[in-house]
Amino acid sequence: MTLFHFGNCLALAYFPYFITYKCSGLSEYNAFWRCVQAGATYLFVQLCKMLFLATFFPTWEGGAGVYDFVGEFMKATVDLADLLGLHLVMSRNAGKGEYKIMVAAMGWATAELIMSRCIPLWVGARGIEFDWKYIQMSFDSNISLVHYIAMAAVVWMFTRYDLPKSFRLPVTVLLGLCVYKAFIMELFVHVFVLGSWTALLVKAVLTGSISLCSLFLYIMLVHSN
Amino acid sequence: MLEEASEVFENMLKSSFPLTFIVFLPAVLILVSPLPAEAAHEFTVYRMQQYDLQGQPYGTRNAMLNTEARTVEAEVLSRRCVLMRLIDFSYEKYQKVIRQSAGAVVIILPKNMSTMPQDVVQQFMEIEPELMSTETIVPVYFALEDEDLLSIYEQTQTSSSSQGSASAAEVLLHTATANGFQMVTSGAQSKAVSDWAITSLEGRLTGLGGEDLPTIVLVAHHDSFGVAPWLSYGADSNASGVSAILELARLFSRLYTYKRTHAAYNLLFFVSGGGKFNYQGTKRWLEDNLDHTDSSLLQDNVAFVLCLDTLGAGDTLHLHVSKPPKEGSPQHMLLRELETVVSSQYPDIKFSMVHKKINLADDTLAWEHERFGIRRLPAFTLSHLESHRSAHRNSIMDVRSNVDVKKLARNTKIVAEALARVIYNLTEKSAPGDLQIFTEQMQVQEQQLSAVIDWLTSQPRAAQLIDKDSSVISTLEYIMGRYLKDIKRHYVKADKRDPEFVFYDQLKQTLNAYRVKPAIFDLLLAVCIAAYLGAMYMAVQNFGVLYNLVRRVIQPKSKQH
């Protein structure tokens, strides 16, 4: 709408990242370049994913409005590469568990923010037409920050050698949820014909519960021994 | 294996910057690939007429539009784009809007005019000439209704009517929920079209015998007129006249192919252009034929000129003359034959002669025959309208559904019968009044008429839109060529220094309606976001509280292990 509106959206999208970075103490660890490296890995993984998708999943040519359940599921499966990427980042950083998790998640999420939200905001929110979707997009980026922190935590737990047997199942389930979250959301929106605000709310609730679960597991794991 | 991969990856990152660049640049480019353009609502809008006739400007003078939308209910209209619907359109409202110096007017017409109540249509037809009679500075556009446009209208209406009578809190809430619309046209400012050629077509059937045969001229103008050129389909005026002329050409060309029925009259058919702009095509044609050339059918022995205009409806027929025909003249003969045919074959039709003198002081001529009358050619116009002032002839409401092909066929047949009676001199050969010539194989074909009229009314035919390459002209030329000989085109271009008519472009534009919010909304949003970020900051700062809470919930359990 105006430059002011763009500023609003940008502030809404970026400040939570900044706050998280500052308050989590990452700045004290001098973790900036580590985060940048994590971001670079994000780019690399996305490129690989895209090449893979383009090679093996030609565009779906079904009728309009038809939801290609299997196709979408297969595409979501490719997101497993994200887990691999996160693991790659974390395995390269020595340090405490929470430090590794935070670096990986921050770098990952920030790279995603810059790559997939910056340009639409710049192009769209500055345009003459007003649309709530840019505010929604900014909120969505906040949600994805939480999502990636939780996801990194779950990946970290999964790759630990000393993971107790009883943890194996819940962690795997959470891992699956993290990967297929976007797919589940899409399914929700498609089946229940949700409006954009409701969809955002559902997404927030879903992400919140996943991260709460992973927090529980994390605390249990960290403080059990 | 993962470790190895990460090592490779790390080395790649550290050692060779160019390589990473090559790898990541495409990735970046792919990720930021251009997005689809922001889809605002887009409409096609049709601008009101803009033309100069004899130095006098008419219509709207402006084409640029970039203002916020309002409806008439709003208190302040100045420099706003006012949306009006045809249902509640009135001249008083329009004048009020113009007086309040609105930035533009967009009048929303229903998609299908024939569904409108008749009184609304009638009222609008009467307003149409008023709208154009004076020049309007602001752009005036017409849009065809669709769902998007209606929803924009309704949203604008709610926001317009709720203004000024609410508390500050209500206004604030309102700004967050309601939408404003910024209307922007994509085109440039309108400018005069230079060297516009108006095209007319001429064709003839030569009579049998002698050099000096009398000539009957049949004329109809092909262009249409309405408040917006792109919306003027001109069904009754004058697609009906053109289709009647083409049918007459077909019938008489058949008669003229047989020696026994080849009459001693030349028939000259003229489909003129610029009929709605003071009959420019006819004027130039007469000048060319009478002043510039030596031999022309028009120069010697013209029996009469019959102009056909608005023949597609009604149960009346009026022969408009500027001078009552003298007893014994061919003109009088036709009048008498028309009366005979109507009274003996179609007694339910009211036929009359309307006499109106040519008023040279008027800006425009009333009927096409007056162009001929000025040049002292005996002429008249046949129409179902009683007065040239009828709004029917110059309205965008004159669409295909106004023409009844049955009535058009009947009127065409009357003209054909009367003409035949004149050229074969049947009355003096004491043929009965109800003798029908055009029956069976020779009958007036309704399909033919309806095909021509369907085709003509399928496109707007305003004089500004029909240039010499237009399909209307070439198709007309083709159809005439099938029946007539010596098809000629005549072009009229306005004089460069003292133009008699000037047309302007930008008559059809795309209107973008962008959803916008007032500036106060941005401030409000900024405050809300600041509050949210503050809460966010507190939450992140005090994350330890949640952490400890969760830990306390779990700890007793883990102690039990």
Measured distance CA(B330)–CA(B326) in Å, rounded: 9
Distance from CA of B506 to the nearest CA of A (A): 24
Measured distance CA(B498)–CA(B275) in Å, rounded: 20
Band (pLDDT 50/70/90 cuts) for residue B31 is very low
pLDDT for A76 beyond 90:
no
Residues of chain B neighbouring A5 (CB-CB closer than 8 A): 522, 525
pLDDT for B295 beyond 80:
no
Kindly state whether A220 is in contact with chain B, defined as any CB-CB distance less than 8 angstroms.
yes
Q: Which residue of B has its CA nearest to A19?
A: B537
pLDDT at B437: 87
B413-416's contacts with Cβ under 8 Å and 24+ in sequence apart are B413/B438, B413/B443, B413/B444, B414/B317, B414/B338, B414/B341, B414/B342, B414/B345, B414/B346, B414/B349, B415/B244, B415/B248, B415/B306, B415/B308, B415/B311, B415/B338, B415/B382, B416/B247, B416/B248, B416/B251, B416/B252, B416/B444
Interface of B with A in 521-540 (CB under 8 A): 522, 525-526, 529, 532-533, 536-537, 540
Q: Which residue of A has its CA nearest to B2?
A: A88
Report which secondary-structure segment, H or E, holds A115: helix A97-120
- Mean pLDDT, range B375-390, rounded to an integer: 90
First-to-last alpha carbon distance for chain B, in angstroms, is: 35
Distance from CA of B561 to the nearest CA of A (A): 9
Q: What is the ipTM of this complex?
A: 0.88
Residues of chain B neighbouring A44 (CB-CB closer than 8 A): 9, 23-24, 27
Best interface-test mutation with A: which of B8, B33, B554 has the largest number of A CBs within 10 A?
Answer: B554
Kindly state whether A131 is in contact with chain B, defined as any CB-CB distance less than 8 angstroms.
yes
Best interface-test mutation with B: which of A6, A44, A93, A149 has the largest number of B CBs within 10 A?
Answer: A44
Q: Which of B2, B13, B23 sits opposite A37 (nearest CB)?
A: B13
Kindly state whether A222 is in contact with chain B, defined as any CB-CB distance less than 8 angstroms.
no
pLDDT for A80 beyond 70:
yes
The residue with greater pLDDT, B130 or B25, is B130
Kindly state whether B26 is in contact with chain A, defined as any CB-CB distance less than 8 angstroms.
yes
Mean pLDDT over all residues of chain B? 85
> With an 8 Å Cβ cutoff, are B2 and A129 in contact?
no
Determine if the pTM surpasses 0.80: no
Residues of chain A neighbouring B550 (CB-CB closer than 8 A): 215-216, 219
pLDDT for B27 beyond 60:
no
Phi, psi of B501 (to 5 degrees): -140, 145
pLDDT for B431 beyond 70:
yes
Distance from CA of A189 to the nearest CA of B (A): 22
Closest CA to B526 of B176, B159, B68, B174: B176
pLDDT at B253: 93
Interface of A with B in 34-63 (CB under 8 A): 37, 40-41, 43-44, 46-47, 50
Residues of chain B neighbouring A23 (CB-CB closer than 8 A): 537, 540-541, 543
Q: Are A71 and A53 in contact (CB under 8 A)?
A: no
